[in-house]
Structure 1
């Protein structure tokens, strides 16, 4: 791969996925895109670049972007964000949404589904308090391939061992050969939609809780700011956003600000809330 080819791919991936690759990522690009070349009968990465220069959006273009996307995930990853959901966000929601009995949760960059299914398990554990409620969990991801796996809800023994307590495995999964399938009840609580965070997402509607973890770290500062500001617009005025442990809004935007009581939790900034057309029930 020539320097010109690498420069083209860096620019191509940034425009289509937000992925900001430094010069040191050349080996990563070569190792991940070589299988794509073989899949599409292209002899070299230079041939792949030449085809990308001439083509419009299609299977090859999607394959290139998806090959470069990191899909590392596991059940109850980093635990703290899920403890916050169980101990803080869900009780707040029950108090603030008692009149409407409706709660919408967005898992952005949902990958193969472990995050939204983890949230669904916690909602299920609070079923007695949420009787009669309409709970909607929406999982989105750039990769249609990982979303298909998420919809299938079928995981290897290795995948269910990562972060999933054995009591929840027994309660919510059925063994199918050497794999484990999530229960239809939990699967029915989550809907999946393909979404590129660089593109508009107003059509998803408004959410009370947004999980957008471990994806902003791959973006440059202007892209992070843009995504965060649009997430703030998709957030209920009294809603909450959870980012990854290595992510923050500080120095990027004032549309979201840290929650004063809980690390890793963010809410709409005062200026952004004042500009909102309608304020929902306070306290969440």
Structure 2
């Protein structure tokens, strides 16, 4: 790919999705865009970029979709899910007892394994949640990957990756060469196409936000903007989960690390409980 074409596509991707591509990733760009070029009937990437320069919105959407990273698996890294199950959920039940409801947002939900993992945790706690209204919202920029998430169909490899066998047998049913998640679990998650660079107010307020392994693809100003916007959608005593390699330090002053809880952050604003104490996630 010509350097000027790479620069054009990289800038377009950053504007549309926040994704930052350095020149050493040109091989990645080329490998992911060649299938798009073939599908569209272009002779090569030169023709594809030429069409992009004509402001072809449908092609730009296809290119953005092709470059979206959709790596996900059930109970990824496990510890955040154990922490949610053992610490945050019991305290949500305690602090939200009056209204008997709470909302969870999985940003960049990909093919659905993260929100369905949380749905399984809530289902396992159903005896304690009788009469409660719980909502899990999964968002992603990719329309195609959201279709897969909504379908709740996974390959043998996907269900074996991170999903304990007892939970697989309990909540999945074999359907030809795939595994289908229990319809009751699928109904617990609402999926929406949403760009994290957009205004987030349309999503409403949340008690817990999972935004794991997403910010690593953004530059610092974009990370700061996304975190600042998320802080406005999170309850004052809410909890934000980031990936193990991600941090808010030096990026945003709207969140603060919770001592002793790696990757878990509390809202940092006047009147907010210290260290997320009301959700019971202060250092133990």
Tell me if TM exceeds 0.5. yes
- Which segments of 5 or more consecutive residues in structure 1 lack a partner in the other structure? 275-280
Q: CA shift at 1:261, angstroms?
A: 3.6
Partner residue in 2 for 1:250: 249
Q: Within 5 A, what are the aligned runs for 1:1-284? A: 1-58=1-58, 60-271=59-270, 273=272, 283-284=278-279
Q: CA shift at 1:282, angstroms?
A: 7.3
- 1:46 and 1:163 map into 2 onto residues whose CA distance is 41
- Which segments of 5 or more consecutive residues in structure 2 lack a partner in the other structure? 280-284
Q: 1:77 to 1:282 in 2, by over 3 A?
A: closer
Q: CA shift at 1:272, angstroms?
A: 8.1
Cα deviation 1:206-241 (Å, max 9, x = unaligned) = 000000001100000000000001011100111000
CA contact (8 A) 1:232 1:255 kept: yes
Count of residue pairs the alignment pairs up: 277
Secondary structure, aligned partner of 1:54:
coil
CA contact (8 A) 1:139 1:191 kept: yes
Q: CA shift at 1:86, angstroms?
A: 0.3
Secondary structure, aligned partner of 1:73:
coil
Secondary structure, aligned partner of 2:13:
helix
Secondary structure, aligned partner of 2:122:
helix
Secondary structure, aligned partner of 1:163:
coil
CA contact (8 A) 1:96 1:282 kept: no
**Normalising by structure 1, what TM-score?**
0.95
CA contact (8 A) 2:244 2:262 kept: no
Partner residue in 1 for 2:282: none
Cα deviation 1:165-200 (Å, max 9, x = unaligned) = 111011101101111000011000001000110111
201-210 vs 48-57, greater mean Cα deviation: 48-57
**Normalising by structure 2, what TM-score?**
0.95
Q: CA shift at 1:68, angstroms?
A: 0.6
